[in-house]
Structure 1
Amino acid sequence: MRNGDDRFGQGRAEPGRRTQTLLPPGGDGRPAALRGGLHIVSGRVVVEAELDTGSVARRLRREVAEVYGYPSEIHVLASGGLRKSSHYIVRVVKDGEALARQTGLLDVRGRPVRGLPPHVVSASVCCAVAAWRGAFMAHGSLTEPGRSCALEITCPGPESALALVGAARRIGVTAKYREVRGVDRVVVKDGDAIAALLTRIGAHSSVLAWEERRVRREVRATANRLANFDDANLRRSARAAVAAAARVTRALEILADDAPNHLTSAGQLRLEHRQASLEELGALADPPLTKDAIAGRIRRLLALADKRARDLGIPDTEAAVTPDMMVV
């Protein structure tokens, strides 16, 4: 998945507060993790950001105008040569120096800041989320779910990368810094951590699409395990496990922090032990539960989420179970 792909909604990710929208997730003279940077043109500081998609470029231009009040231009670099697709440059010329100072790209002496600006590094968790949102929209990528699944940010330097690692830690997500072929990268490898981070930064369409592919891959893996068996009951159990996991995942997304703890715990157990029977699941609970008790809690979790979905007019837990998932 490419960053900014409209199918996955990065260009429409909603920020927590307007003032957090343009927190710069990079430094080293380059806003965010963007290609582009700070340039001197005819004695003026010009801020440039090169982006992969028009939707993200238009959003950046709009936010610069609404948050800081500065006009900007969008220039299109047509595909050709080594460039496989068109790129978009957002350029602030007239007020470039003022924007660079306000966003922390330049310090009080007019020198480029390396890494994240101090006021972002020491800010609230909301600002850490905003920094990751900007970095992902600007220069993030998301690989297919699987053994090597990863969410990756390419950064302009090690200072920016390490600052993003720290910001992820404050959000509750484990990220690692790596230098690969001279390029500084921040990588999140765990599937659950990727889903949690995408949810926090507001990339809801990305989460749904990625989770659907993740579940589909699990279905295929289950199918491969069943290829050497001719046991109808085992196949039905596999389908039920996939459907239950998909519905519980959707229920926890709908309810978020509003679900009762004992129901959330039951749902998490089902996700952590997808192939376990209800009796085995009950034995894993703390304290242990009967299979009827654990089944009842999962049933109430789904019912509560479905009621909330009806009230909000959004897809319920049944909608998470697609026909493709049942192809075993």
Structure 2
Amino acid sequence: MPLTADVKAELLTVRDPRPAARVAELTTVLRFAGGLHSIAGRVAVEAELDSDRLARRIGRELVEIYGVRPELAHVQGGAGNPGSRVAVRVIDGGETLARQTGLLDQRRRPVRGLPNRLTTGSRADLAAVWRGAFLASGTLTEPGRSAALEIACPTGEAAMALVGAAHRIGIAAKAREVRGAPRVVVREGEGIRAMLTEMGARRAAQEWDQLRQRREVRAGVNRLVNFDDANLRRSAQAAVAACARVERALEILGDTVPEHLREAGELRLAHRDASLDELGHHADPPLTKDAVAGRIRRLLAMADKKAETDGVPGTESAVPGGVED
């Protein structure tokens, strides 16, 4: 997804100097891209990432913040993450790192969601949480009916923690399940733009918003064109139906039709595409559109009454199939 790649590339240039924000981003990446594993009876911290650049960043942060030098290895992605990926592993000192980041609680139990101190931190910490989650497992789709900023989550508890962090920033996000896998989604256009900006992808936010506005303008123009086309089709169908009924009325009534009604009917047939107002201007002397409409209405009613008396098809029978009266 080009948009997703662009956002991640920009986020990788964001480096918040505040220690708490760096810890929030790093811990969230580790939680959303992998988590804790048991290797040879020892607790290991592992994250599978979709780029060498992100893996190097995480490795550097682990060294600088916790003094831990991880292993980096290329692995084949699974069904949900096809293609080559880079695993960042900490085996020696993995349990200590898990405790320091909050991925293990004080009783050595894995944290199901996110450490509480991350989701109740400052606005910068909350933005770092979302930045880490997007770098680990986020996607952004193009503006439109199905536009979404979406994060694949390791657990339902992690999804709810991410939703809570978004709400504290003031952005509406929802947790949902897709084929049994928990996800967090921001769908509203302004919310997507705001979240991209909060995470630090300001250029991507501006470009996405401009694309959204262009599409909304284009959609509005298309709706107007379709509306005009629909009106034209309805007008054309109404004209065809009216002329067909008038022709049949004159045929039914023959010489018995009153002269002023005949003139109104012939006026309709002579100017098939004209509006009632335009027909009135063509009359001699000129008539109002209400007068023209009234005479045509009486002509059709008189013809339909005679047709019923004579047992013959009325004016409606002359309207072609598929044409609305």
TM-score by length of 1: 0.62
User: How many angstroms apart in 2 are the aligned matches of 1:3 and 1:64?
Assistant: 28
User: How many angstroms apart in 1 are the aligned matches of 2:58 and 2:3?
Assistant: 14
Query: What amino acid sits opposite 1:182 in the alignment?
Result: G
Cross-structure match for 1:218 = 216
Cross-structure match for 2:32 = 33
User: How many angstroms apart in 2 are the aligned matches of 1:118 and 1:79?
Assistant: 30
What is the 5 A alignment of 1:72-87? 72-78=70-76, 84-87=82-85
Q: Which deviations, in whole Å up to 9, do the C-alpha atoms of 1:103-157 show, x marking residues without a partner? A: 1000112111111112223322222221111111111111111111111111111
Query: Could you tell me whether the CA contact under 8 Å between 1:164 and 1:186 is conserved in 2?
Result: yes
Q: Which deviations, in whole Å up to 9, do the C-alpha atoms of 1:41-65 show, x marking residues without a partner? A: 2232211101122222221111111
Secondary structure in structure 2 of the residue aligned to 1:129:
helix
The alpha carbon displacement at 1:6 in A equals 4.5
Cross-structure match for 2:11 = 10
User: How many angstroms apart in 2 are the aligned matches of 1:16 and 1:212?
Assistant: 30
Q: Which has the higher contact order (CA 8 A, sep 6+)?
A: 1
* Of 192, 203, 206, the match for 2:190: 192
What is the 5 A alignment of 1:246-261? none
Query: Could you tell me whether the CA contact under 8 Å between 2:171 and 2:195 is conserved in 1?
Result: yes
Measured on the aligned residues, the alpha-carbon RMSD in Å equals 2.8
Cross-structure match for 1:250 = none
Structure 1 gaps of 5+ residues are 231-328
The alpha carbon displacement at 1:81 in A equals 7.9
Query: Could you tell me whether the CA contact under 8 Å between 1:120 and 1:127 is conserved in 2?
Result: yes
Query: Could you tell me whether the CA contact under 8 Å between 2:44 and 2:94 is conserved in 1?
Result: yes
User: How many angstroms apart in 2 are the aligned matches of 1:3 and 1:86?
Assistant: 20
Secondary structure in structure 1 of the residue aligned to 2:47:
strand
Cross-structure match for 1:121 = 119
Are residues 1:53 and 2:51 paired? Answer: yes
The alpha carbon displacement at 1:76 in A equals 1.4
Structure-2 change in CA distance of 1:194 and 1:47 (3 Å): same
Rg comparison, structure with higher value: 2
User: How many angstroms apart in 2 are the aligned matches of 1:148 and 1:18?
Assistant: 37
Secondary structure in structure 2 of the residue aligned to 1:22:
helix
Cross-structure match for 1:71 = 69
Give the length in aligned residue pairs.
Answer: 227
Structure-2 change in CA distance of 1:98 and 1:6 (3 Å): farther
* Of 96, 102, 105, the match for 1:104: 102
Query: Could you tell me whether the CA contact under 8 Å between 1:151 and 1:188 is conserved in 2?
Result: yes
Query: Could you tell me whether the CA contact under 8 Å between 2:27 and 2:101 is conserved in 1?
Result: no
Secondary structure in structure 1 of the residue aligned to 2:164:
helix
The alpha carbon displacement at 1:158 in A equals 1.1
More displaced 10-residue stretch of structure 1: 3-12 or 165-174: 3-12
Cross-structure match for 1:44 = 42
Secondary structure in structure 1 of the residue aligned to 2:104:
coil
User: How many angstroms apart in 2 are the aligned matches of 1:112 and 1:198?
Assistant: 30
More displaced 10-residue stretch of structure 1: 16-25 or 92-101: 16-25
Structure-2 change in CA distance of 1:6 and 1:183 (3 Å): same
Secondary structure in structure 1 of the residue aligned to 2:191:
helix
The alpha carbon displacement at 1:223 in A equals 4.2
The alpha carbon displacement at 1:211 in A equals 2.1
User: How many angstroms apart in 2 are the aligned matches of 1:92 and 1:59?
Assistant: 15
Structure-2 change in CA distance of 1:140 and 1:3 (3 Å): farther
User: How many angstroms apart in 1 are the aligned matches of 2:14 and 2:194?
Assistant: 14
User: How many angstroms apart in 1 are the aligned matches of 2:56 and 2:76?
Assistant: 17
TM-score by length of 2: 0.63
Q: Which deviations, in whole Å up to 9, do the C-alpha atoms of 1:238-270 show, x marking residues without a partner? A: xxxxxxxxxxxxxxxxxxxxxxxxxxxxxxxxx
What is the 5 A alignment of 1:1-328? 1=1, 5-6=5-6, 9-15=10-16, 17-23=18-24, 31-34=30-33, 36-78=34-76, 84-225=82-223, 227=225
Query: Could you tell me whether the CA contact under 8 Å between 1:21 and 1:134 is conserved in 2?
Result: no
Structure 2 gaps of 5+ residues are 229-325
Q: Which deviations, in whole Å up to 9, do the C-alpha atoms of 1:196-240 show, x marking residues without a partner? A: 11111112232133223223323432442464699xxxxxxxxxx
Query: Could you tell me whether the CA contact under 8 Å between 2:4 and 2:141 is conserved in 1?
Result: no
Query: Could you tell me whether the CA contact under 8 Å between 1:4 and 1:137 is conserved in 2?
Result: no
The alpha carbon displacement at 1:16 in A equals 6.0
User: How many angstroms apart in 1 are the aligned matches of 2:120 and 2:82?
Assistant: 39
Task: Report % sequence identity.
Answer: 50
Query: What amino acid sits opposite 2:95 in the alignment?
Result: E
The alpha carbon displacement at 1:79 in A equals 6.8
User: How many angstroms apart in 2 are the aligned matches of 1:152 and 1:107?
Assistant: 28
